């Protein structure tokens, strides 16, 4: 059985590319039993939907983020990436 951490990695990866069939199967089995991971998948889907709806610069009303906001976001994204890509 996959750990929740690995399921999170696989689900995240599946947003960018199709997973191999055996990983998709493992994720489906885990999700059938794990309410926390089911919730995480729903939240990821909601975030993706919101990002698509509000992600264009025209809708934000300006062309780019302020430089300091961009730097902070990159740092936080890197921290999150490091957290979820550490070996089990």
The pTM of the full predicted model, rounded to 2 decimals, is 0.59
In angstroms, how far is CA 5 from the centroid of its own chain?
12
75-87 confidence digits (pLDDT tens):
888 887 777 665 5
Closest C-alpha among 77, 83, 72, 75 to residue 51 = 77
20-75 confidence digits (pLDDT tens):
999 999 999 999 999 999 999 999 988 888 777 766 555 555 566 678 888 888 88
Residue 50, token pair as written in the block: 């919101």
Separation CA 28–CA 38 (nearest Å): 10
Separation CA 4–CA 36 (nearest Å): 8
């Amino acid at each position: 059985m996959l750990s929740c951490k690995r399921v999170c990695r696989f689900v995240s990866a599946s947003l960018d590319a199709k997973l191999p069939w055996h990983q998709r199967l493992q994720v489906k089995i885990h999700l059938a039993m794990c309410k926390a991971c089911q919730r995480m998948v729903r939240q990821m889907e909601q975030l993706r939907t919101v990002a698509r709806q509000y992600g264009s610069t025209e809708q934000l009303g300006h062309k780019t983020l302020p430089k300091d906001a961009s730097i902070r976001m990159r740092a936080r994204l890197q921290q999150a990436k490091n957290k979820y890509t550490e070996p089990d």
